[in-house]
């Protein structure tokens, strides 16, 4: 035996009389863990003649990690949360979690890497069934700790109806926002007490423990309405855009919020019958524009209303198809950082269609070739229901003018298009059927705190939850009647999404799950590049105990002075991170954001992560950047760097994204590429002219396997190379 680099030495020999033993096994004790040793065997006869050494075998001791301790199972709705103490074994590498019905076999449910990764929500379970769970520690060689005593739990339904005095209004909707910045969400309800009654718009304020009180503030009464909230005048309070059918005809109103008090802005905006409004900063200039669609004098129309600043909104002609009874949503379908538009409805000939318009930038859109089922009187939404980092599409509504054929469909984003994955009328035997819902209102959120987005849909007096378990969708009809509009909202502030139903019989269903949501980690590694009037902001992905890292969204705040939001505002409290509306972050799923049209000056910015349960992290430490037309630099000094350098990526190891920074001594065309360990080109990150100064680029390895990768900078006649490690 020897150490890896040492001389062979005799370990042991014993005689029986004049002969050595003829044992064929030997235990060698007191070796150093993870120290390489070499072993060889020789045969000796009675005359002490020794054979040649056997083949040398190299091995080393592999200590099995200790069993995880303090394992606790907490039951929720169709889910169980497991938590345990961090494993302090010296040779621990990762955890295995096993689960199964009690009395039956178990299977490996998930693998969790990292010492402090000590919590897992297992969803897709059946309520009122007993499940067994085991948590095992594993070393890097795949050796598991001994099986512990089993832990059991019984998932149960979590929603319970509460007494409420909410008004019963039909043909309307409900919407939540923190209008007075007191940390809790207030409620706006629209609709009619009867089909022949005048429309109403009512505001109810929240006292922080779920008690709602009618406000004396007045708004235009509307039915068949849409609502969205955003800080249009960037004064730190959410403003209201209200569209619908009033007693005198269709209207679109903008109400500005000054410390909780609303006033009619007087902005001149078109109104639509059976219309909708859908907000988006489609041109990446920092202010909110919106789409308006519906019928004007019997003709279907679709208009993009551009925010020109200073309270001026102008329709912009893009050639969008006109639709009546429409539904629309914005999302980044091709992950290029620009909001794309999905719209569906009936055209002037009565044909029901759906179109995805791809945003090309520079006020230009083009219809994609993807084919979708069109609907009327429905809802569409972008969401990453299968947790693969791209945005999928949910559609629900009628597929025919007679409103007899009902449809609910989930379209999976494949990266090159969209495939119908779940639907009501798919003829493919391998597709799971789910119930279609008419005059549908759909909302998305993580109600069971397992990290993935679930769907809540109401139609014709009924409400149904589509429980999502990483793309496996199960339908659960709620025991309610008279449902109109539905919302998911943590109105009582206890860390889970409650259900508020407004309609002929308004209700509040309190979520009493024992599995509570927790906030994501604060984004770190904030960096930027500027080029002329355009800034590219970059940060590291956050972590969350429930929502997968790739499914977090981000809010970015930008101002011209410390703490200001006069360039890009967020619907969140900068000091606590609490969201003021139930919505994804304004930067979407990407860990970067580009803004153009910025004048020269100094800007201040922060980033917040938002999970699928609409809980926000604290905001990052405020950073600043300068915009000029002559330099691109992160340097606090105005002096140019003295040398060209390639920095070590951060974080390293990483999963799935990391940031690479490099410094150029002089301007010129540069090339930055990533290769795998075999030398195969994986990604070309930069191939263009860059100015002197410090530059930053983000590398997303979400579709790559764990391993060592090489990144190579070629600039100014130099070639600089570094290694980085991807661990998934």
Contact 316, 306 (CB under 8 A): yes
One domain for residues 89 and 147 = yes
One domain for residues 556 and 670 = yes
Two tokens, residue 245 = 């059918």
Does the bond joining 653 to the residue before it have cis omega, within 30 degrees of 0? Answer: yes
Edge-to-edge strand order for the sheet containing 601-610? 553-559, 601-610, 623-627
* Tens-digit pLDDT profile for residues 481-515: 766 788 999 988 888 999 998 888 888 899 988 88
In this prediction, residue 669 carries a pLDDT of 84
Kindly list the distances between the CA atom of residue 11 and the CA atoms of 2, 34, 45, 48, 395, in Å, as whole numbers in the listed order.
9, 19, 18, 17, 72
Domain boundary among 153, 187, 207: 153
Residue 493 lies in a domain: no
Q: Report how many domains make up the chain.
A: 3
Residue 321 lies in a domain: no
One domain for residues 126 and 15 = no
How high does pLDDT run on average in the chain?
Answer: 84
Cα of first residue to Cα of last residue in the chain, in angstroms, is 37
One domain for residues 610 and 704 = yes
Domain boundary among 107, 137, 153: 153
Q: Where are the strands (E) in 360-495, listed by range?
A: 365-367, 376-383, 392-398, 406-413, 418-422, 441-445, 454-459, 462-469, 472-477, 483-489
Q: Which residue has the tokens 């090159």?
A: 416
Kindly list the distances between the CA atom of residue 659 and the CA atoms of 263, 528, 636, 652, 663, in Å, as whole numbers in the listed order.
45, 11, 20, 9, 14
Residue 570 lies in a domain: yes
The least confident of 200-214, 422-436, 635-649 is 422-436
One domain for residues 109 and 20 = no
One domain for residues 559 and 597 = yes
Taking Cα atoms as reference points, which of 672, 688, 684, 654 lies closest to residue 721? 672
SS (H, E, C) 183-194: CCCEEEEEEECC
Residue of 577 and 61 predicted with greater confidence: 577
Residue 334 lies in a domain: no
Residue 312 lies in a domain: no
One domain for residues 692 and 651 = yes
Residue 662 lies in a domain: yes
One domain for residues 10 and 136 = no
Residue 451 lies in a domain: no
Domain with 142, as residue range(s), is: 72-153
Taking Cα atoms as reference points, which of 432, 478, 473 lies closest to residue 457? 478
One domain for residues 34 and 115 = no
Say which CATH number the domain at 555 has.
Answer: 2.60.40.1930
Residue 272 lies in a domain: no
One domain for residues 558 and 705 = yes
In this prediction, residue 105 carries a pLDDT of 65
Residue of 537 and 27 predicted with greater confidence: 537
Rounding to the nearest 10 degrees, give the CA dihedral for residues 441, 443, 447, 448. Answer: 90
Q: CA-CA distance, 308 to 239, in Å (whole number)?
A: 17
* Tens-digit pLDDT profile for residues 24-62: 677 777 766 556 667 777 777 777 777 776 666 666 566
Domain boundary among 153, 172, 189: 153
- State the average pLDDT over residues 432-439: 44
One domain for residues 33 and 86 = no
* Tens-digit pLDDT profile for residues 684-693: 899 888 888 8
Say which CATH number the domain at 116 has.
Answer: 2.60.40.10
One domain for residues 27 and 139 = no
């Amino acid at each position: 035996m020897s150490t890896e680099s040492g001389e062979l030495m005799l370990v042991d020999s014993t005689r029986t009389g004049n002969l050595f033993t003829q044992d064929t096994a030997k235990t060698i004790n007191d070796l150093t863990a993870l120290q390489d040793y070499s072993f060889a065997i020789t045969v000796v006869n009675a005359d002490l003649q020794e054979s040649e050494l056997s083949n040398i075998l190299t091995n080393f001791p592999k200590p099995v990690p200790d069993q995880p301790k303090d394992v606790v199972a907490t039951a929720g709705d169709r889910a169980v949360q497991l938590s345990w103490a961090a494993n302090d074994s010296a040779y621990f590498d990762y955890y295995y979690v096993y689960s199964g019905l009690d009395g039956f076999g178990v299977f490996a449910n998930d693998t969790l890497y990292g010492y402090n990764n000590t919590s897992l929500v297992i969803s897709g379970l059946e309520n009122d069934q007993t499940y067994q769970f085991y948590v095992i520690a594993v070393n890097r060689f795949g050796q598991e700790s001994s099986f512990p005593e089993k832990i059991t739990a019984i998932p149960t339904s979590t929603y319970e109806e509460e007494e409420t005095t909410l008004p019963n209004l039909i043909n309307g909707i409900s919407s939540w926002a923190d209008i007075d910045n007191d940390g809790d969400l207030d409620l706006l309800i629209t609709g009619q007490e009867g089909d022949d009654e005048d429309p109403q718009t009512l505001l109810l304020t929240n006292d922080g423990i779920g008690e709602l009180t009618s406000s004396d503030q007045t708004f235009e009464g509307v039915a068949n309405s849409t609502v969205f909230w955003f800080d249009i005048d960037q004064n730190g309070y959410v403003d209201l855009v209200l569209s619908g059918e009033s007693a005198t005809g269709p209207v679109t109103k903008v109400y500005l919020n000054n410390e909780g008090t609303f006033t009619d802005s007087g902005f001149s905006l078109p109104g639509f019958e059976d219309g909708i409004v859908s907000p988006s900063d489609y041109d990446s200039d920092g202010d909110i524009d919106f789409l308006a669609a519906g019928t004007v004098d019997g003709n279907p129309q679709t208009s993009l209303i551009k925010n020109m600043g200073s309270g001026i909104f102008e329709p912009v002609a893009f050639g969008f198809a006109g639709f009546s009874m429409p539904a629309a949503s914005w999302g980044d379908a091709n992950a290029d950082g620009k909001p794309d538009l999905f719209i569906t409805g009936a055209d002037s000939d009565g044909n029901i269609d759906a179109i995805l318009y791809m945003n090309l930038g520079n006020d230009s859109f083009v219809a994609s070739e993807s084919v979708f089922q069109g609907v009327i009187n429905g809802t569409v939404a972008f969401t990453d229901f299968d947790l693969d980092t791209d945005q999928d599409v949910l559609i629900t509504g009628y597929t025919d003018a007679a409103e007899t054929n009902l449809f609910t469909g989930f379209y999976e984003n494949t990266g090159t298009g969209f495939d119908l994955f779940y639907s009501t009328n798919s003829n493919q035997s391998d597709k799971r059927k789910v119930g279609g819902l008419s005059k549908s209102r759909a909302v998305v959120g993580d109600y069971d705190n397992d990290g993935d987005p679930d769907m809540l849909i109401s139609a014709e007096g009924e409400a149904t939850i589509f429980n999502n378990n990483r793309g496996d969708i199960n339908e659960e009809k709620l025991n309610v009647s008279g449902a109109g509009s539905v919302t998911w909202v943590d109105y009582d502030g206890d860390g889970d999404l409650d259900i508020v139903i407004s309609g002929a019989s308004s209700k509040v269903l309190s979520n009493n799950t024992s599995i509570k949501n927790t906030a994501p980690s604060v984004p770190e590694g904030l960096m930027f590049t500027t080029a002329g009037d355009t800034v590219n902001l970059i940060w590291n992905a956050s972590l969350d105990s429930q929502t997968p890292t790739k499914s977090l969204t981000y809010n970015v705040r930008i101002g011209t002075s410390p703490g200001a939001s006069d360039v890009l505002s967020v619907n969140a409290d900068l000091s606590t991170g609490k969201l003021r509306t139930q919505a994804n972050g304004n930067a979407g799923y990407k860990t970067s954001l580009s803004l153009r049209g910025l004048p020269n000056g100094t800007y201040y910015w922060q980033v917040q992560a938002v999970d699928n349960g609409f809980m926000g992290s604290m905001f990052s430490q405020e950073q600043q950047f300068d915009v000029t037309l002559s330099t691109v630099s992160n340097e606090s000094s105005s002096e140019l760097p003295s040398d060209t350098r390639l920095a070590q990526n951060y974080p390293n190891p990483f999963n799935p994204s990391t940031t690479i920074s490099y410094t150029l001594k002089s301007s010129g065309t540069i090339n930055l590429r990533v290769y795998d360990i075999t030398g195969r080109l994986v990604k070309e990150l930069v191939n263009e002219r860059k100015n002197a100064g410090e530059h930053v680029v983000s590398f997303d390895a979400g579709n790559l396997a764990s391993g060592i990768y090489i990144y190579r900078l070629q600039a100014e006649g130099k070639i600089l190379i570094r290694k980085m490690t991807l661990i998934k």
